[in-house]
Structure 1
């Protein structure tokens, strides 16, 4: 089953996310809190409130903050600036670990280090990376073909191109503004799900 990952954009306030994310939790497979400007306390408070409002811990992932992941019992998405996957895996073997990658070399290293999945992009042009050429579908398929762990595509994913991304064999897609910055996020999430299930 193709998985839909929802990522926060860093542009919504905490109260907005605390209100919106519980509504979206049953319409997406994973919710990533990617809020680099929040303190650990803000992240923990938000995550605990989301869980209190019915969001299962297994659907939540925090970016980069190992301390927050361990305290709240949710997954972690590591970046190239994070503690390396192998060191985290050795100390915390049960932790769900994703790794953001930008090349086959990085993807292979993440797999060997013990990542549960990798997130690769950006696939299509995106306003969040102006002037940076997208890596494209051919590169995505190459990553998928050369790794055995799930690959999640990210970057410029929308309902019009999501099927093209999934056709590479990737395990799912990650969406930011395509859901949370739409007028009705719930409707936008359902649109992705509808297209992905065709």
Structure 2
């Protein structure tokens, strides 16, 4: 997912186009956070929206059936609405406190569990997830909890590649133990 909260639209679009090219050449889908206009303009694979953004049904109408749509949800009711509106997955959190989003209430494991059990869609845990807690999130063993999203765990670090490998190793150990 490509997230840019402070850039001007033109700057964001140019960076998104470059990211789309890199991701396509590697076979990795790229979603744009919040900005349907940028996702359309750079032909991204989809978009992720929050509760205060454009509703998922409207995003689906604009992007069409072939794109991926994710919706941030904190409650079972929001998860149900995301499903009804045509989302493909939900992001649930913040599971832990995070510095990437202001005024983001922490749900903890119980909040994540409640939303996962109510959701008809795959769930990605979001918010404050890092190498120290990612394994415990996935060890909850919830059938539709398909992964974690990380920002600070990687990009607030000096050695992004090493941190990425470490986090991947932690998550892969958990995936093997669940199969």
Identify unmatched segments of 5+ residues in structure 1: 1-31
Alpha-carbon distance change, 38 to 100 in structure 1, aligned in 2, over 3 angstroms = same
Aligned to 1:190: 165
Runs of 4+ in 1 over 6 A off after TM superposition: none
Q: Deviations over 1:51-85 (max 9, x none)?
A: 44x32275211111111111211110111222111
Question: Once the two structures are superposed, what CA deviation does each residue of 1:101-156 show, in whole Å capped at 9, x if it has no partner?
Answer: 12111111101111011111110123446886521112111211211211111111
Instruction: Work out which structure has the larger RCO, using CA pairs closer than 8 Å and 6 or more positions apart in sequence.
Output: 1
**1:145-174 deviation line (CA, Å, top 9, x unaligned):** 211211111111111211111123211111
TM-score calculated relative to the size of structure 1: 0.76
Alignment of 1:5-154 (within 5 A): 32-52=1-21, 54-56=22-24, 58-74=28-44, 75-91=46-62, 92-128=64-100, 134-154=106-126
Taking the aligned partners of 1:146 and 1:126, their CA distance within structure 2 comes to 24
* TM-score with structure 2 setting the length: 0.84
Q: What root-mean-square deviation, in Å, do the aligned CA atoms of Structure 1 and Structure 2 show? A: 1.9
Secondary structure, in 3 states, of the residue corresponding to 1:148? Answer: coil
How many aligned residue pairs are there? 166
CA distance in 2, matches of 1:65, 1:95: 14
Cα 1:131–1:48 change in 2 (3 A) is closer
Gap regions ≥5 residues in structure 2? 174-179
SS in structure 2 of the partner of residue 33 of structure 1: coil
**Equivalent of 2:146 in 168, 171, 174:** 171
